Chains A and B, each alone.
Chain A
Amino acid sequence: MTATSVQAKLSPGLRARRASSNVLTYLLLALCSLFVFVPFAFMLSTSLKTEEQLFVWPIQWIPDPTAWENYSQAFVELGSIAPGLTFWRILSNTLFITILAMTAELIAVSLVAYGFARFRFPGRDKLFLVLLSTMMLPSIITLIPTFLIWRTLKLIDTYDPLTIGSWFGGGAWAVFMLRQFFLSIPKEMEEAAVIDGADTFQIYYKIMLPLVKPALLALGVLIFQANWNNFMGPLIYLNTTVKFPMVVALKFFQESLSHEAPKWHYMMAMSTVMAAPILALYFMAQKYFIEGLTVGAVKG
């Protein structure tokens, strides 16, 4: 049964109903996107207001005068209580953590997933089940002992706890996702390479990795996002203000300068700055964001 044969059977009345339901679809789409966009617009417009304009009604969506200086002033104020914590310092702190953690996790995850997908060894399926069950373990359980490990190593207030753990196979979810991709590659590709005399590393590096490149990109984007947005880690492990990444710097601003009378214009400017790179990444690599999310979830 093909779609066209059904279409042919539709009465004219039914077609008219389809058209009117399309109008309804557009209406609903527009209504929902209002719900998405208005808070965004509110964030942007607040970030460009002077302190007096914050409380003006009706709301000035495009503030006049436009306070572009909020974007620099917010960081100047922050620097006044946290010496050395400039915008560039915050950015480089954030990038340093994110890139190290992401690189390590991608390398480790791709190796582990390859092992689970392509090699037969005793206990493999049981171990994989253990891996899946660790996804259910709430991170709060391991948080305190993990903190104590880093404390014993005298590495509190360094970037080590935020980056080095990523070498250990990363998130179970990431392994699971990449394994699905490895499984979908036909086995003949490797067998041919083995006949040609390639060793395991060559097969992995020259054949498997290029084939799962889209999945690696998808994973990379999601891991980047997770680390960029990670709050609890830097909150617990970093004490010196100058070491703060974006997220914790924002929290510090809220608690110190913005505690009694919230400086919403500055906080929204900082939020925008924090969100901008992720939004840019999203628009560039949108396909990968979506792809990464759906693997494994559908088909359960």
Chain B
Amino acid sequence: MEVSAWETYLPTLLHWLATGGGIIALMLLLNKVLQMLGVKRETATGYALILPWILGLLIWNLYPFARSLYLSFTEYNIFQPPKWVGFQHYVTMFTKDTDFWPALRLTLLYAALNVPLGLAGALGVALLLNRDVKGIGIWRTVYYLPAVLPVVAVALLWRWMLSPTSGLINFVLRPIYQLLNVAPLQWFTEPGLVLPSFVIMGMWGIFGANAVILLAGLKNIPRHLYEVAELDGANGWQQFWNVTIPMLSSTMFYNLITGIIAALQIFTQAFFIPIPRRAGTFFNVLIYREAFQFRHMGYASALAWINLVVILAITLLVFRSSAAWVYYEGETK
């Protein structure tokens, strides 16, 4: 039986209008009530304006955050009420779950390779696009294209590019395989090649947001710094190390943090490309499977918390190290 499009859209449209109207009514109400209670007008309006975010923080962040922690100590399959099991899930994943350590290892290794390589590549591209040559604007437009493509399309495209039997990469490499008399590389299928395949796919993204942000950072470096360096006799390489890198370090730091967080949460690409079980599973795919395929909501929540702890620990480490290598202009220390 077919459902018409309108039938599926209408309820959501009504709920959507009601929610929007409700939130705006609440904002107006809060503004009025606070002022009647004698709160200064500016203060009352300020609170009223940020009300949507406050509600969002409570409903979509704080409550789920607390609930997730609670669920991680329970057995919960959606159909029966959660049953308290204490630390059992955490013990299980560290000692019994054969998928846990490979997943953690694969995800960490992916981040460890993908983030530095991606950042270095993006810096190279940004330096190239910062050159003062004719028609550079067109190149900039072109280089950003891969980042506009839906991740799903990128994943499918690279699965096809790296297809062992008929992908473009193996076609191109065929003469080399014949020369060395080896079998074609089984990208994405041979456990040892899973990680390199994902890293290669990730490198296609270096032309994206990271390069754009670094390029803007490069443009922000005052020209006179280079002029002074040049008058002092610094060559190109010295200028790069002593002017460009320090002046760009805060931008690189931002890219590093966002890059690490994104890499540790890789999902869409990992979900779309089947890989052999022996190679491990990406961590978020593991969580998705436990939660939405096996309905192990409790165990999946515990896994999600481990994911959070790993991300926080690594981010904190990078933040700690930043004092040594990130230079902020105007900082007085």
Contact = CB atoms under 8 A, between A and B. Distances in A.
Interface of A: 1, 3, 6, 9, 22, 25-26, 28-29, 32-33, 35-40, 42-43, 46, 54-55, 57-59, 83-84, 89, 92-93, 96, 100, 104, 107-108, 111-112, 114-116, 119-122, 124, 127, 130-131, 134, 136-149, 151, 155, 158-160, 163-165, 167-170, 175, 200, 225, 228-229, 231-232, 235-236, 240, 242-243, 246-247, 250-251, 254, 262, 264, 267-268, 271-272, 274-275, 278-279, 282-283, 286, 289-290, 293-294, 297-300
14 contacts: A32-B128, A36-B143, A115-B49, A119-B43, A138-B304, A149-B64, A231-B268, A250-B153, A271-B156, A275-B149, A282-B145, A298-B213, A300-B250, A300-B251
B contacts with A: majority SS: helix
Contacts of A163: 12, 16
Contacts of A142: 60-61, 64-65, 68
Contact of B160 (A42, A120, A148, A168): A42
Contacts of A124: 46
A40 B145 contact: yes
B305 interface: yes
Interface string B299-333: 01100110110011001000000000000100000
Interface string B133-165: 100000111111110111111001110110101
Given A1-B228, A120-B43, A297 B56 contact: no
A165 B253 contact: no
B157 A42 contact: yes
A88 B111 CA distance: 39
Contacts of A159: 8-9, 12
Interface residues of B, number: 109
B290 to A, nearest CB: 10
Contacts of B11: 158, 160
Contacts of B277: none
Interface of B: 2-3, 5, 8-9, 11-13, 15-16, 19-20, 23, 27, 42-43, 45-50, 52-57, 59-61, 63-65, 67-68, 71, 78, 125, 128, 131, 133, 139-146, 148-153, 156-158, 160-161, 163, 165-166, 168, 171, 174, 204, 207, 209, 212-213, 216-217, 220, 223-224, 227-228, 230-231, 250-251, 253-255, 261, 264-265, 267-268, 271-272, 284, 287-288, 291-292, 297, 300-301, 304-305, 307-308, 311-312, 315, 328
- Chain A, interface SS category: helix
B292 to A, nearest CB: 6
B64 A141 contact: yes
Contact of A293 (B213, B253, B304): B213
B50 A112 contact: yes
Given A6-B231, A144-B297, 9 more contacts: A3-B227, A26-B133, A112-B52, A151-B78, A158-B12, A167-B19, A167-B23, A236-B292, A282-B144
A293 B209 contact: yes
